[in-house]
Chain A
């Protein structure tokens, strides 16, 4: 990570920042003393299925084969604030209830098609929420800017809490494309390119390059 990459991250993150990631350079408060809620093997299997629905196996490995469920638990336990951990854990129940409401079965018992239908609906709801959240941050940011002469790093203070599915989707995508399977199968993994070519031809369907990190 260097300044140039950071600039890109900030640009890419407009609208929604990576929760708990290094991309979010907020001054969020640490909570080292409070033990995180443990994840069971059962809940890891549940997370794997959610992730697999977001990034399914196609001609290349999906999120489940890439071990994304277990990775999510590490990120939530180690990188999330207490508040985001609570949102995440509650969200897993909310999602299961929503599945029951929509299909009459819990998520683990639902078919892949039912799961997909559910997550498409939840994703839509989340996008609306994230937009509202971003607008609120902007309004608050403007107010803060007007209220103080000197800038501080508090501009990213969140006016609305994060949405659980925003967390799940981000972690699924992040976990998959930084995993060995995701990088080597779904991207063009080139750990030691050896040269840089500024202009090469590209045709639709060519995969993106990915380096060591």
Chain B
């Protein structure tokens, strides 16, 4: 068994798992990183990364066969011909929907760090104090000052480009030079600022794409904007481009793929985890690995599912369930709504290159001192201005050479923004382990019982109305607001189910991401989120993972865990 023993086991290899592996190995621990899916080697395995449109049989589109085989993925943009191999196969990864829930997963080395949207924002005390002030759920056990140095630490390593804006509720970070806004975005930004007296602002998105090289990352972004196919230049942060090479460089990392963690081995005498049980996804062989600490970074619901399947002889609902909150408070961001329209003029301006980033309009509703809306919290917008391409409708042109010439040129300018709204943590929004449905490995699947409620639906009305108003005051014409409807899960920002808190009676994790009931197990993916904020969450997972790893190693050295 000796070769199955490590200092630490990290379950999952996505954004959080990669960070855990990097931090723990750099601190000298021998680490085993377990990934349930196949390996994707940086650059070598990015099969579609240099493929032009005409080499795709359907030019990147979706076929009826794909629609039939991917009943979940088809619900939103992930189902397309370009990076299909990066998404988990629906039929191999079933789950039960008591209410509709779209679960879009990446089961391979790097997880969704390969396909993520890369927008990277800090939470603030507006977020960390929100639950306490609103008197809902439980209070976050940390404040901004606790995470601030870790945000800086994560940003420096990941390489985030952006501008400093001096906003109290969207703190500035350590940024590489910002990308440009185009002429229409600049115009809209200045008009919004002016109209709302600086109370609403718009600026270039903060994104994990390198605008210049940083140590260990020799190539900046090449502005191809096909990041989610994998980048041969390593131009954006992913496990493959960033944390995995760093962890490998220590000589302390062992990565094992096709390793589905079934449960944590809990020792009731020491009240600690001894390691994990693994099912080999190819051979169905059952294996055990031992370690002093375990980091669960298997993605929000899968980390919680592992806890639910562990130590059930002591706690029927699993390790960490003593509070009754394990699996509860599922959150996501609600989106697929906003507004768009045309911007007249600026025919003599264009832009070159394909920017993998858009603009950001940070939250402006329910800020301190403002009038209260008929909902709690708020939302931000992402979007962009651009000149239309050949796919536009040219109403005045019919067919022939005139149409061809017109479509060969850029069209009129359009500007669109889409909202990302905060979802509240509701105890009754939950995942549970199915009693009768199992996957092909015989592991019981998850059941989802999650819905948006009045707060989210009220917020959505403002999200459309405010988008229309802002574009209109910015001089955009033919502005159309649109709410396309949204299911929980479509934000692909799953959060909650093992929330942090101040009291073991009402939370699963403490302020250091330790499971209250088993202190050598840490959960540092989206599961720990006590509230959702309205900003993209991944940067917070990076910072919190690095913080928890630092704490864990110190505790190990002190002999406390």
**A161 interface contact, C-beta 8 A:** no
Shortest distance in angstroms between B59's beta carbon and chain A's nearest beta carbon? 4
Whole-angstrom CA separation of A192 from B222 in the bound complex: 6
Indicate whether A202 sits within 8 Å of B61 (C-beta atoms), given known contacts A153-B485, A191-B224, A194-B223. Answer: no
Contacting A200 at CB < 8 Å: which of B181, B352, B482?
Answer: B352
Shortest distance in angstroms between A160's beta carbon and chain B's nearest beta carbon? 17
Shortest distance in angstroms between B226's beta carbon and chain A's nearest beta carbon? 6
Whole-angstrom CA separation of A55 from B181 in the bound complex: 34
Interface size class of A (residues with CB under 8 A): 35 or more
**In the bound complex, do residue A196 and residue B351 qualify as a contact, i.e. CB atoms below 8 Å apart?**
yes
**In the bound complex, do residue B79 and residue A180 qualify as a contact, i.e. CB atoms below 8 Å apart?**
no
**In the bound complex, do residue B407 and residue A177 qualify as a contact, i.e. CB atoms below 8 Å apart?**
yes
**A22 interface contact, C-beta 8 A:** yes
**In the bound complex, do residue A153 and residue B75 qualify as a contact, i.e. CB atoms below 8 Å apart?**
yes
User: Would you call the interface of chain B mostly helix, strand, loop, or mixed?
Assistant: loop
**In the bound complex, do residue A196 and residue B416 qualify as a contact, i.e. CB atoms below 8 Å apart?**
no
Residues of chain A with a CB closer than 8 A to B228's CB? 1-2
Residues of chain A with a CB closer than 8 A to B348's CB? 201-203
**In the bound complex, do residue A180 and residue B340 qualify as a contact, i.e. CB atoms below 8 Å apart?**
no
B213-228 interface (Cβ within 8 A of A): 222-228
Whole-angstrom CA separation of A122 from B183 in the bound complex: 39
A1-31 interface (Cβ within 8 A of B): 1-4, 6-12, 14-16, 18, 20-23, 25, 27-28, 30-31
Q: For A4, A195, A199, which residue has the most chain B Cβ atoms within 10 angstroms? A: A4
Whole-angstrom CA separation of A196 from B418 in the bound complex: 23
**B383 interface contact, C-beta 8 A:** yes
Residues of chain A with a CB closer than 8 A to B223's CB? 193-196
**In the bound complex, do residue A201 and residue B350 qualify as a contact, i.e. CB atoms below 8 Å apart?**
yes
**In the bound complex, do residue A199 and residue B484 qualify as a contact, i.e. CB atoms below 8 Å apart?**
no
**A208 interface contact, C-beta 8 A:** yes
Shortest distance in angstroms between B339's beta carbon and chain A's nearest beta carbon? 9
**In the bound complex, do residue B58 and residue A212 qualify as a contact, i.e. CB atoms below 8 Å apart?**
no
**B270 interface contact, C-beta 8 A:** no
Q: Mark A28-55, 1 if CB is under 8 A from B, else 0.
A: 1011100000000000000000000111
**B398 interface contact, C-beta 8 A:** yes
**In the bound complex, do residue B390 and residue A208 qualify as a contact, i.e. CB atoms below 8 Å apart?**
yes
Residues of chain B with a CB closer than 8 A to A204's CB? 347, 409
**In the bound complex, do residue A12 and residue B60 qualify as a contact, i.e. CB atoms below 8 Å apart?**
no
**In the bound complex, do residue A78 and residue B414 qualify as a contact, i.e. CB atoms below 8 Å apart?**
no
Please name the residue on chain B nearest to A32 by beta carbon: B68
**In the bound complex, do residue B68 and residue A30 qualify as a contact, i.e. CB atoms below 8 Å apart?**
yes
Whole-angstrom CA separation of A204 from B348 in the bound complex: 8
Shortest distance in angstroms between A114's beta carbon and chain B's nearest beta carbon? 13
Whole-angstrom CA separation of A149 from B417 in the bound complex: 24
Residues of chain A with a CB closer than 8 A to B227's CB? 2
Shortest distance in angstroms between A144's beta carbon and chain B's nearest beta carbon? 10
Interface of B toward A, CB cutoff 8 Å: 50-54, 56-65, 67-68, 74-77, 79-82, 117, 179-183, 185-186, 222-228, 335, 338, 340, 347-355, 358, 382-384, 386-393, 395, 398-401, 403-405, 407-410, 414, 416-418, 452, 457, 480, 482-487
Q: List 9 A-B contacts (CB under 8 A).
A: A22-B80, A54-B400, A58-B404, A155-B485, A173-B391, A174-B59, A208-B409, A210-B389, A211-B225
Q: Which 8 A-B pairs have the closest CB atoms?
A: A198-B180, A151-B485, A30-B68, A196-B353, A193-B353, A202-B350, A11-B340, A178-B53
